[in-house]
Structure 1
Amino acid sequence: MAGHVYIGSFTSAGGRGLTAATVDPDTGALTALGHTAEVPNPSFLTLSADGRTLYTVSETEPEGAAAAFSLADPAAPRLLGAPVPVRGGSPTHLSVHQGHLLTANYAATGSVSVLSLGADGALGAVRSVLEHEGDGPDQERQEAPHAHAVLPDPSGRWALSVDLGTDSVRVCELDAAGGELEIERELGLRSGIGPRHLAFHPDGAHAYVINELDSVVTVCRWDADKGSLRPLAETRVLPEGAEGENYPSELVVSRDGRFVWVANRGHNSIAVLSVDDDGESLELLETVSCGGDWPRHLTLDPAGTRLYAANERSGDITWFDVDPATGTPKQAGSLELPAVSCVLFG
């Protein structure tokens, strides 16, 4: 039986907004069903805990928004009320945490917004905004804080905010009753590295940070009891001799924790890295073509056997069969969609 996939895109660059598609479980092939452009620039998507509601950012300036869609009919998402302004510019990422929706707002001074959620999944008002502080050495990209991702840790207690502008990850605790997000501690990474996104190892004790301004993954040890993140090592995601600019965008960890895949924008590749048995070091095995131009997002299917790359500039989603022994992705097909930015399995 075919499942459903939801695809975000940049309407400002000719994208169709939110597209619903089916996925063939045997081949991984995507077939677009229809789209809605009711929300501008729904560039990143996530699901409610029960999978009945889809949430999107609206990545716009000077103020962005978030929106909720009912998946009562999974083939035709239905907007639940008007998009809600998040009191921050260009939200690039969002997640559900302790009954709230969190958005990472990249533009201006960088912040994380906390929105309430109704029993039906609809968005309520912004309850609080946590303003980031600081800057970095790259005065073009790090002149101010730029929150790029916010997500809960595997324990569900903490929310981690990844800030490209300040070279840091903030570990935050949410007062669910008051809706206030408070910083417990801030981890500083190497100056000028530009952290973008973060993913946890299945063991729950390690996290990997992909950095946009230097093509490396930072391996960290995570202590959920203390809310402590400690950097251990860095691994490059480009082969020796690679030339030209490169801006890594997304990192995915295999279900068994043996491999990490990274999307390279510029090099237009997927880096394949092996993970040692204790999760504390990575090795670059190879890079393979992403099948298009500017892979903004990378995701695994629910079975963990296929990778999907959203190639923003070439306007296509390419899928790959993954060799379970080597981690090597082999291109298996593609779907043309303009200005794609995110792929989410329902």
Structure 2
Amino acid sequence: MRDKVVQRRWFLAGLGAAGAAAAAGPALLSSRATPPAQAASTAPHAPHAAAHPAMLMALIGSYTSSTPAGRGLDVAHRADSGALEPGGTVDGVPDASWLAWSPDHQYLYVTNETTQGTVTAVDLTSHTPKVINSQSSRGAGPTHVAVHPEGDFLFTANYTDGSVAVHRRNPDGGIGESTDLVKHAGAQPHAHQIVIDPSKRWVVAVDLGADSVYVHGFDHSTGKLTQNQQLVLPAGTGPRHLVFHPSAKHAYLLSELNSTITVLGFDVESGKFTPGQVLSSRKPGAGGENFPSEIAISRDTGFVYAANRGDNNIATFSVEEKGAKLSFAATAPTGGDWPRHFALDPEQTSVYVANQRSGTITRLARDPGTGLLTPAPEVLEVPSVAVITFHG
């Protein structure tokens, strides 16, 4: 099963080479994503994205080199009904597979998942997205980027060659010089995620190919990483993403190759994980192929959500014992095919799902009391969609 997933990712990275040259394109918002009736009335230098300043803005990434081709980085606005309305496309952001905000939510950083990977910085201080610059990710197929909570560095996980790059962040929000590059050990390392723990002391890298979670110390004066722990999981686990409990005492690790969630204990002082409970990401009795993709915890810390590609649902888990245990609650169909990513809106009353293969973003209404999700009718078409985030 691992070979199938690895080959799929390598094929995607190869396709992405065609989009690399677009990274130097103009940093203007076009009207390609706007319906024809709206595009006709939209002035070239007055983007549709500025037409709804009071509405919540969503940024949406998609694969420009896939079939059908995505548009890269789209803008949408949320209506009162919960529906997302298209607002334009930011030119020059190919194969946008992950989106991460600066601490002040004024700048967005986008992985360009191409053979010669790059990361693009986007300025949203005026609420009209403008590309600042792009820098090499120093690896192939970058799938994840994170900005340090102090705002001075960003970290990129390169999937294809299993490496983590560190870059300084410039005062204007742009991406500066690279200060470090760490290559994971093993025959087929594939770094899939990079995240900073809630204490801001440790940088955590999740490597699907190495079946490992790495914890690094970070020196702000030099911009260098120092490995502190390699937590090795059983062969074939395929860890993809983790999310910390805000207490920093626990984290929840979602594994792509065996459809599990592992509850990890975390000691902030030593910077080390200890594996605990392991449970399925799927509802009891589920069969067939399945590749989980994304995991998140609600702001009230009462619920954890996991996306299942194959089952095409979002599973809800109750958080118990102060974060040390999860219990399966329910699943809700996403209404689309291959949910690669999802995001809770700022009010935590809806979950928006990026269904890659069906090219749709669907909405699930969320009950804040029970944590349960219910399919809603709103759908936005975004070919080869990969990721969604809110500028809230």
TM-score, reference length from structure 2: 0.83
1:126 Cα deviation from its structure 2 partner: 1.7
Q: Which residue, 292, 310, 319 being the options, matches 1:248?
A: 292
Name the residue aligned to 2:36.
none
Q: Which residue, 300, 325, 331 being the options, matches 1:287?
A: 331
Letter in 2 for 1:156: K
Matched residue SS, 1:278:
helix
Q: Which has the higher helix share?
A: 2
1: CA distance between counterparts of 2:373 and 2:249?
Answer: 26
1: CA distance between counterparts of 2:223 and 2:111?
Answer: 19
Name the residue aligned to 1:56.
110
Name the residue aligned to 1:115.
167
Which blocks of at least 5 consecutive residues in structure 1 are unaligned?
A: 136-143
Which blocks of at least 5 consecutive residues in structure 2 are unaligned?
A: 1-53
Letter in 2 for 1:72: T
Name the residue aligned to 1:77.
129
1:299 Cα deviation from its structure 2 partner: 1.2
After superposition, the C-alpha distances for 1:146-175 in whole angstroms (9 at most, x for unaligned) are 000001000111110000011111111121
Bigger Cα Rg:
2
Aligned length: 333
Name the residue aligned to 2:246.
202
2: CA distance between counterparts of 1:149 and 1:244?
Answer: 26
2:228 and 2:272 in contact (8 A); partners too = no
Q: Does the alignment pair 1:17 with 2:61?
A: no
1:168 and 1:195 in contact (8 A); partners too = yes
Letter in 1 for 2:303: F
After superposition, the C-alpha distances for 1:236-261 in whole angstroms (9 at most, x for unaligned) are 12123322110000001111111111
Name the residue aligned to 1:170.
214
2: CA distance between counterparts of 1:218 and 1:266?
Answer: 20
1: CA distance between counterparts of 2:309 and 2:91?
Answer: 26
1:191 Cα deviation from its structure 2 partner: 2.2
1:134 Cα deviation from its structure 2 partner: 1.7
Matched residue SS, 1:11:
coil
Matched residue SS, 2:65:
helix
Q: Which residue, 152, 172, 195 being the options, matches 1:151?
A: 195
1:204 Cα deviation from its structure 2 partner: 2.2
1:54 and 1:71 in contact (8 A); partners too = yes
1:331 Cα deviation from its structure 2 partner: 1.7
1:314 Cα deviation from its structure 2 partner: 0.4
1:115 Cα deviation from its structure 2 partner: 0.9
1:280 Cα deviation from its structure 2 partner: 1.2
2:334 and 2:364 in contact (8 A); partners too = no
1:314 and 1:338 in contact (8 A); partners too = yes
- Percent identity, aligned pairs only? 44
After superposition, the C-alpha distances for 1:90-122 in whole angstroms (9 at most, x for unaligned) are 0000000141110000003x0000011110101
Letter in 2 for 1:46: A
Letter in 1 for 2:65: S
Name the residue aligned to 1:215.
259
Matched residue SS, 1:80:
strand
Mean alpha-carbon deviation: is it higher for 125-134 or for 234-243? 234-243
Letter in 2 for 1:19: D
Q: Does the alignment pair 1:127 with 2:179?
A: yes
Letter in 1 for 2:56: G
Q: Does the alignment pair 1:3 with 2:56?
A: yes
Matched residue SS, 2:321:
coil
After superposition, the C-alpha distances for 1:15-55 in whole angstroms (9 at most, x for unaligned) are 0110111123x432211100024121011001111111111
Q: Does the alignment pair 1:88 with 2:143?
A: no
TM-score, reference length from structure 1: 0.93
Matched residue SS, 2:95:
coil
After superposition, the C-alpha distances for 1:227-285 in whole angstroms (9 at most, x for unaligned) are 11111111112123322110000001111111111100011111111111321111212
Mean alpha-carbon deviation: is it higher for 299-308 or for 209-218? 299-308
Letter in 2 for 1:130: V
* RMSD over equivalenced CA pairs, Å: 1.2
Letter in 2 for 1:279: G
